[in-house]
Amino acid sequence: MTARAASLAVLLYAILFALFAVSLGNPAPAGATTEAIVVLTGGNGRIEEGIARLAAHRATRMLIAGTDPAVTKADLAVRLHGRRKLLDCCVDLGSESVDTRSNAEEAKRWLDARGYRSLTLVTSDWHMRRALYEFQSHLGRHYEIRPDAVRTEPNLMTLFTEYNKYLLRRMAVWLDV
């Protein structure tokens, strides 16, 4: 009986992993607008996607959450090929967070300080499910969150690691630990 239960659990885990791997986050519709953009650092193309949306007037202000404290707007302007004016007027660098959960906490403080109630959340496609879960958990129903997943080509290990982080975080919230 125990072997059957263990086999069923392993089979369920594998099926759910396969579903996770084939249903990664999608980009937001091109014309979608919100009050703010929150970009989570840690992956290629995320900041560029946020800047492109901001430049296209899809939001009025952007937070880059989890920025290394040593990074400046001048550093980003070099990386973004001269977007200094846009960076100076409309981008805030948040350096308080170190993981996805603290990204959500940092973003909530930033959103509340500015009175924003809608945001576009920018992160990698493989990271979107957990990031969205964290943001929904911390922000609650008072905010409209529009996911904008940056397309990547994650390898199997990235997907496997992210799937396990997502499951563990869901269980931690469910167990209230």
146: in domain: yes
CA-to-CA distance for 175 and 121, rounded, in angstroms? 26
12: in domain: no
Structure confidence by residue, pLDDT tens digits, 79-106: 888 788 999 999 999 999 999 999 999 9
18: in domain: no
Structure confidence by residue, pLDDT tens digits, 46-89: 999 999 999 999 999 999 999 999 999 999 998 888 788 999 99
Query: What three-state secondary structure class fits 64?
Result: strand
111: in domain: yes
Q: Which domain holds residue 123?
A: 32-175
Structure confidence by residue, pLDDT tens digits, 139-172: 988 999 999 999 999 999 999 999 999 999 999 9
Structural domain count of the chain: 1
61: in domain: yes
Q: Between helices 156-175 and 2-22, what is the axis angle to 10°? A: 120
This prediction's pTM: 0.92
| DSSP classification of residue 15 | H
91: in domain: yes
CATH number (domain holding residue 86)? 3.40.50.620
Cβ–Cβ under 8 Å, residues 134 and 104: yes
151: in domain: yes
How high is the pLDDT of residue 52? Answer: 94
